[in-house]
Amino acid sequence: MKPRIFYTKPSITDLEVSYATDAAENGWGDQCYAYINRFEELFKKHLGVKYAIATSSCTGALHMGMSALGIGPGDEVILADTNWIATAAPVVHLGAKPVFVDILPDTWCIDPDKAEDAITPNTKAIVAVHLYGNLCDMDRLLAIGEKYGIPIIEDAAEAMGSIYYGKRAGSMGSFGAFSFHGTKTLTTGEGGIFVTNDSNLYDKVLTLSNHGRSRFQKKQFWADEVGFKYKMSNIQAAIGCAQMERIDQLISRKQLILLFYKKSLSFSSEILMNPDVKGCTNGAWMPNAVFDEKSNITREILCNAFESENIDARVFFWPLSSLPNFKNKEENFNSWDIPQRAINLPSYFDINEQDLSRVVSVIKMLL
């Protein structure tokens, strides 16, 4: 059998190992937050934001940020129907209702017109999910937010390296959240980060992130409110520091892989890949191939073809409204239609050209 091609895995070098080892050996006592603080500073500088709080997951960052915005029972949060459940889960945990709207057919990100149409007196936020590194129409969404007095939250879990007219993904909304899961461009194993330019929101989330203990509280073990425990570990942050020192390399490699696929598959007009949008740079976390309906190529055909070649390709996200805990919304046409004829393509840092060509050959065979 041919060697397995994994769809993603992290790039870990001696630098990450040395920092993690140092954290394990020395990162205790008064050094227990040293790498966390360093990681937050490096991330702020890279993103161009004022505040950052490293977390145990992107979901945790979203949960605390939404809580700090006052989202709770009876409220509604608008988000795209196409996404991983991690964006909707914090909304549900806070007792609010996720309102799923359709995506655009080319970027696969939230349709701003549909988002505006879904606004009610109960709407407390709109979440802009930069799906697979593709960028939402932030100008339009921010204008909608300003018009209705609604915060725009950026779920940039998959958008490390993506740039919207000179501004990095995650830096434009009321707050942004990133994921550092082992599948992501930058990893800490598990982990995430909350970022914002709003000092009041930062203080609220900082308090929530430490069991509700304010940084201004002088009494030891005194909680000013009931908060959360979503702190990133110092050892995880050590890995993150090493990754941040390599961030340009990590992003550019992802972009080169996407470019390889685009060039190799440009022979067919029946395939749509992550789009090039004027004024934007795609961080290229996950290359996707969406097949034209006329091709008659389905998700199941793709999965079977790749599995037969021992290639670990993954399906496009299911519509959230198709999951058993939510109300079916098949009227979100693109969200329901596109996943039926799409596939994620392997794109890890160390994948070589021979393996990339193996992936492409499967698609050529199907066409």
Query: Quick one: tokens of 96?
Result: 């609010």
Output the pLDDT for position 360.
98
pLDDT tens per residue across span 70-108: 999 999 999 999 999 999 999 999 999 999 999 999 999
Q: What domains are defined for the chain?
A: 14-245 (3.40.640.10), 247-366 (3.90.1150.10)
DSSP alpha helices (H): ranges in 69-193?
89-93, 112-117, 138-148
pLDDT at 184 over 90: yes
pLDDT (average), residues 24-42: 97
- Determine the Cα–Cα distance for residues 253 and 310; give it in Å rounded to an integer: 23
pLDDT (average), residues 204-214: 94
Query: Quick one: tokens of 177?
Result: 């959240």
Output the pLDDT for position 25.
98
Output the pLDDT for position 355.
98
Output the pLDDT for position 1.
82
Using pLDDT thresholds of 50, 70 and 90, give the confidence band for residue 218: confident
Length of the chain: 367
Mean pLDDT of the chain: 97
Residues paired with 79 in a beta bridge = 100
Output the pLDDT for position 9.
94
pLDDT (average), residues 255-262: 98
Longest dimension (CA), the chain: 68
CB count within 10 Å of CB 72 equals 12
pLDDT at 304 over 90: yes
**What is the three-class DSSP state of 280?**
strand
- Find the distance separating the first CA and the last CA of the chain, reported in whole Å: 24
